[in-house]
Amino acid sequence: MNTQFSKKDTNIVKGVAIIAMLFHHCYVTNINFKAHGVSFAPFSKGTVVTLSLWAKVCVGIFVFLSAYGITISLKKLYDQNKYERQNISWLTIRRVWKILSGFWPIYILAIVGCKVWAPESFAVYKQGMIRIIYMLIDFSGLAHIFGTPTLLGTWWYLGLAFMEIMLLPFLYYMYRKCGAFTTIALSYLLPMALSLPMSSSVVHYLPAMTLGIWFAQEDLFPKAADWRIPHTGLMITRVAEFCVLAVFILGTVWLKTSKFGKVHLNVTDSVTPLAVILFTYLFLASIPILRDMLCILGKYSMNIFLFHNFIRSRWFEDFSYSFRFWWLIVIVLVIDCLLFSVVIEFLKEVLRYNHLTIKIEKKLHGMISNE
């Protein structure tokens, strides 16, 4: 097994997160599925809804992976004595640009789609000049930060992603000066001590960020693989490891629904994503066909995140929930979103959109370099 946490491993984990996200949104509220006679067999509706609440682990996974990736880049700068304002500014701008350049085509398609299938969606922007202002803010991915209306509630994560990108250089510098224990401990304890609200997404997911920094800085994924039970050639060793991590993940389901977990969401939504990531990395990534399927989903994860709720409920709700069985509904939604995403990427290539974004990125780099 290649113990390095590679780009492929990242996409595999993103694939798991995307499936969790689709499952979460399908059943987190009965507003959509109640009218469609969904069968939850062999489980009860309550069990599936509880699991869908737990599946919001997807957010923490994406936060962790973002922190991990940014830290890899910051570590190179720091180790090469290039941890300077200009280099950090470019790293920040480049990541923000990649998110925005991926978001804008989806936003335009969403406007067109809502015009055709859900014109009532635009009521959220109100009327007159304020509509234009709200749409520009939403187009910039800043609606969550400014507290302004958004065409799709799911896009709140864009605001968190931007804030994480801005915050990571400071957190990483603190990590290098104060160490892992102090940085991680403060990310958990300081919000509690100051009674900061968990409704703030940054406070909520701050520990997931610091855990991502820790794993990247100390290269802990290969070490996690080394800490496994020595392979004796017997399948029982791997079964034992699988069971231990599976029990741990089941424990996080209990934690999510416990009184402590509901109060201390920053604990729940940092421990749970880490458990899922380790489980995926150590086991699911070793299963040939499954890992390839997850990797493909991960590759298109941004597109799927940005538009899946239009397909699931805004535009084609009756179709999405027409497959009766709770598990089949999720599978069909995964396939629909993947196909839609492939088409989007094809159109971007045909229209040379990606070529344009690369040219603009180079221009931005030149402007930062000349400061």
Is residue 296 scored above 70 in pLDDT? Answer: yes
- Partnered with residue 235 across adjacent β-strands are none
User: Which residue in 202, 203, 201, 181 sits closest to 192, CA to CA?
Assistant: 203
Task: List residues bridging with 39 in a β-sheet.
Answer: 325
Q: Residues of 113-125 as b/e, b for ≥16 C-beta within 10 angstroms?
A: bbeeebeebbebb
What confidence tens digit (pLDDT) does each residue in 64-103 have? 999 999 999 999 999 999 999 999 999 999 999 999 999 9
Q: In the beta sheet, which residues pair with residue 158?
A: none
Give the other-Cβ count within 10 Å of 291's Cβ: 19
Alpha-carbon distance of 238 to 228, in angstroms, equals 9
**pLDDT category, 30, cuts 50, 70, 90?**
confident
- The string of pLDDT tens digits covering residues 202-232 is 999 999 999 999 999 999 999 888 776 565 5
Q: How far is CA 371 from CA 78, 94, 359, in A?
A: 21, 16, 19
Q: How confident is the model at residue 129 (pLDDT cuts 50, 70, 90)?
A: very high
Average pLDDT, stretch 306-318? 95
- Please answer whether residues 320 and 312 qualify as being in contact, where contact means their C-beta atoms are separated by less than 8 angstroms: yes
d(CA 149, CA 139): 11
The overall pTM is greater than 0.85: yes
Q: How many Cα atoms within 13 Å fall on the side-chain side of residue 302? A: 16
Q: The tokens of 249 are what?
A: 């993940």
What is the distance between the alpha carbons of residues 57 and 187, in angstroms, rounded to a whole number? Answer: 18
Give the 3-state secondary structure percentages of the chain, helix then strand then coil, rounded to 5.
Answer: 80, 0, 20
Tokens coding 252 = 């996080």
Q: Could you give phi then psi for residue 262, rounded to 5 degrees?
A: -70, -30
**pLDDT tens across 167-191, in order?**
999 999 999 999 999 999 999 999 8
Distances (CA, A) of 368 to 48, 89, 128, 163, 365: 50, 8, 37, 20, 5
Residues 356, 104: contact at Cβ < 8 Å? no
Residue that the structure tokens 């720091």 belong to: 78
The radius of gyration of the chain's CA atoms, rounded to the nearest angstrom, is 21
pLDDT score for 176: 96
> Nearest to residue 151, comparing CAs of 121, 189, 119, 188?
121
| Amino acid, res. 289 | I
Peptide bond connecting 42 to the previous residue in cis, omega within 30 degrees of 0? yes
Residues present in the chain in total: 371
pLDDT score of 360: 96
Question: What type of residue sits at position 14?
Answer: K
Q: How far apart are CA 14 and CA 62, in angstroms?
A: 7
Give helix 201-217 / helix 57-79 axis angle, nearest 10°: 50
